[in-house]
Amino acid sequence: MRKDVLVLVTALVFGALFFLFAFSDLDNLVKAVALLSDLFLCGVILKRLTGVEGYYGLIIVRGLAGFRAMRYIADHYAETCRKIADAGLSIGFGAFYAYYVFGKKKILWHLAAIGLFFAFFWFIQNTAGFAVMTSALFFAVGIALGLFGLGLMFIMQHAYNVLTVSGTPPGITLLIPGVTVPWETLPAIIIIATVHEIAHGVMCNIERIKLKSSGAMLFGFLPIGAFVEPDEASMKRAAIHKRRRVLVAGSTSNILFFFVFLGLTLGATAILQTTVQAVEVDNASYGTLTHGERVLTMNGAPVKMAKDLDAPLYSGVLMANLTTSLGEKSVMLGYVEVSSVTKGRPAYGVLQKGDLIYSINGITVDSLKTMEDASAGKKAGDSVVLGTDRGTMRVPYDENGKMGVELTAKKAVNFKDVPTNDAAYALMTLIVAVLGFTYVLNFLLALFNLLPLFITDGHQIVLGDAVARFGEKKGRRIALAIALGTLLILAINGLPWFIH
């Protein structure tokens, strides 16, 4: 049998086994071992068949792809790229780091860049529905420590929840299109990886750091990324700030393309709206609305798409005034659901995960704020009466005025779009999904890549600065300690995959 045919057959067989395991009813731990084993064996066999470079199932395909384009950008836009990379360092690591690297003369410019970046999240929170933490703590950490600090804060907070709140979901997952994430993420992953690596290559050309190769990485048959490979000796000889620029270029490009694809997503969504002639009720959990009833306005504003009717739930508001084809109606769009109960706290043994709360002390719960207001000022020994889908329950408070539950808004009504043209609607829905995943994953990759883990650019930046500041031996120890601590926190985030 020809070698290329054998390679194709091997990839198809292991691919089929992979998805057979992925969609099976196996225990999560068994499934994870099966999936990783499948990819590992596939990678080992493909390496032997093709003779390409590979390590433990990871296949590295090298070449010179993109070198000409990288040189062109470097030759024509060098100074602009340097300024963007410097801004990326400040946004990535915050105001204190910006002062440390750039000093007093340039600090105002870098503070402005940091402030504008994080202020923008206020805007997109209210206009694009981009779910992001917008508390004072978020902005304080973001401005002081950048995306580096925010990434650490997010995984530390989730690790704490994993250890203290029962039912907390995993904080990390493998991005496997069609299994852990929708298929629409596949082109998004290719785009973000390509953008990230081209940026590294461009900055290497600008800073006169030699490039050895570029290429793609696969784990078994599964593409997991792209890369450019700087010459190690050339990289070591370069001044520390040149190395910083090269290392941060990937995350900076992902931040830039986050904005680009956010804009494209908003534009594509506007076009998608033109393919919708009406919005109607698909199903409801109670009799206020009927199947096929068309929704014209919500709280006085025109309803253009079904997703418009989900907007109140994102802010914890459950009730809305709708104008439908059958008249004016006040509708409960959702209910308050118990998402987790902390062991050893007052609600433990009384409420359960999945309980729906309809009332508190006889007051209808029409928003999450209703629960907060009714709980304000409570102390140890106080209690409330909750009306739930399992009946009436009395729940006490602890000394901090807490029950020990996490609450979320659960959708009670499903709406659907009625297209003007099915084909146009399906096409635009696909485009919006791909663009949407691309802008979200650009941001998440930038955030993850700045974490001080062994495989990330963030770790290399921390290592370089630690060595420059404290010397080779002590600097490496400091960077190692930070990386090990971060890895431990990340491992705690993944515990729910294996412990029920």
Q: Which CATH number do you get for residue 387?
A: 2.30.42.10
Q: Are residues 83 and 231 in the same domain?
A: yes
Number of domains in the chain: 3
* Residue 258 burial class via C-beta count within 10 angstroms: exposed 0-12, middle 13-18, buried 19 and up: buried
Q: State residue 433's pLDDT score.
A: 94
Residues 87 and 150 occupy one common structural domain: yes
273-301 pLDDT, tens digit per residue, is 999 999 999 887 666 888 899 999 999 99
Q: How far apart are CA 367 and CA 118, in angstroms?
A: 28
User: pTM for the full model?
Assistant: 0.80
What's the CA gap between 211 and 56, in Å, rounded? Answer: 25
Question: In percent, how much of the chain has pLDDT > 70?
Answer: 95
7 neighbors 50 (Cβ within 8 angstroms): yes
Q: Which domain holds residue 328?
A: 285-419
Looking at the structure, tell me whether residues 378 and 455 fall in a common domain. no
Question: How far apart, in whole angstroms, are the C-alpha atoms of residue 487 and residue 470?
Answer: 23
Work out the end-to-end distance of the chain between its first and last CA atoms, rounded to an integer number of angstroms: 47
Residues 231 and 184 in one domain: yes
* Strand-pair category, 334-341 with 327-332: unpaired
Same domain, 215 and 128: yes
The predicted model gives 16-35 an average pLDDT of 81
Same-domain status, 35 and 94: no
pLDDT in tens, 43-89: 999 998 888 888 888 888 877 667 888 899 999 999 999 999 999 99
pLDDT of res. 130:
47
In a domain, 275, yes or no: no
- What are the backbone dihedrals phi and psi of residue 334, each rounded to the nearest 5 degrees, phi first? -165, 180
192 compared with 342, residue with greater pLDDT: 192
Cα distances from 310 to residues 301, 316, 418, in angstroms, run: 14, 10, 16
Instruction: Evaluate whether residue 174 is within a structural domain.
Output: yes
Going by pLDDT thresholds of 50, 70 and 90, the confidence category of residue 40 is: very high
pLDDT per position as a tens digit, 97-113: 999 999 988 999 999 99
Is 223 inside a domain boundary?
A: yes
Within a domain: residue 384? yes
Q: Mean pLDDT across the chain, nearest whole number?
A: 89
Within-domain flag for 58: no
In this structure, are 235 and 324 located in the same domain? no
Residue 134 pLDDT grade (very low, low, confident, very high; cuts 50, 70, 90): low
* The predicted structure's pLDDT at residue 137: 79
| pLDDT for 129 | 47
* pLDDT tens track for 245-256: 999 999 999 999
Token pair listed for 306: 């079904």
Tell me the pLDDT band of 498, cut-offs 50, 70 and 90. Answer: confident
Per-residue model confidence as pLDDT tens digits over 173-228: 877 777 778 878 888 988 998 899 899 999 999 999 998 877 778 888 887 777 78
Q: How confident is the model at residue 135 (pLDDT cuts 50, 70, 90)?
A: low
With respect to residue 353, please indicate whether it lies within any of the assigned structural domains: yes
Asked if residue 125 has pLDDT above 80, the reply is: no
Query: What's the whole-number mean pLDDT along residues 361-384?
Result: 89
Mean per-residue pLDDT, 26-39:
82
**pLDDT tens digits, one per residue of 407-465:** 999 898 999 999 999 999 999 999 999 999 999 999 999 999 999 998 899 999 999 99
Buried b (16+ CB within 10 A) or exposed e, 113-126: bbeebbeebeebbe
Asked whether residue 272 carries a pLDDT value surpassing 90, the answer given is yes
- 301 plus 394 within the same structural domain: yes
Task: Answer yes or no: is pLDDT of 1 > 70.
Answer: no
Q: Is residue 312 domain-shared with residue 448, that is, in the same domain?
A: no
Residue 429 in domain: no
Residue 425 in any domain: the answer is: no
Distance CA 493, CA 487 (A): 10
Q: Are residues 200 and 92 in the same domain?
A: yes
* Token code pair at residue 484: 């090990």
pLDDT reading at 169 higher than 90: no
Do 106 and 212 fall into the same domain?
Answer: yes
**Are 438 and 469 within one domain?**
yes
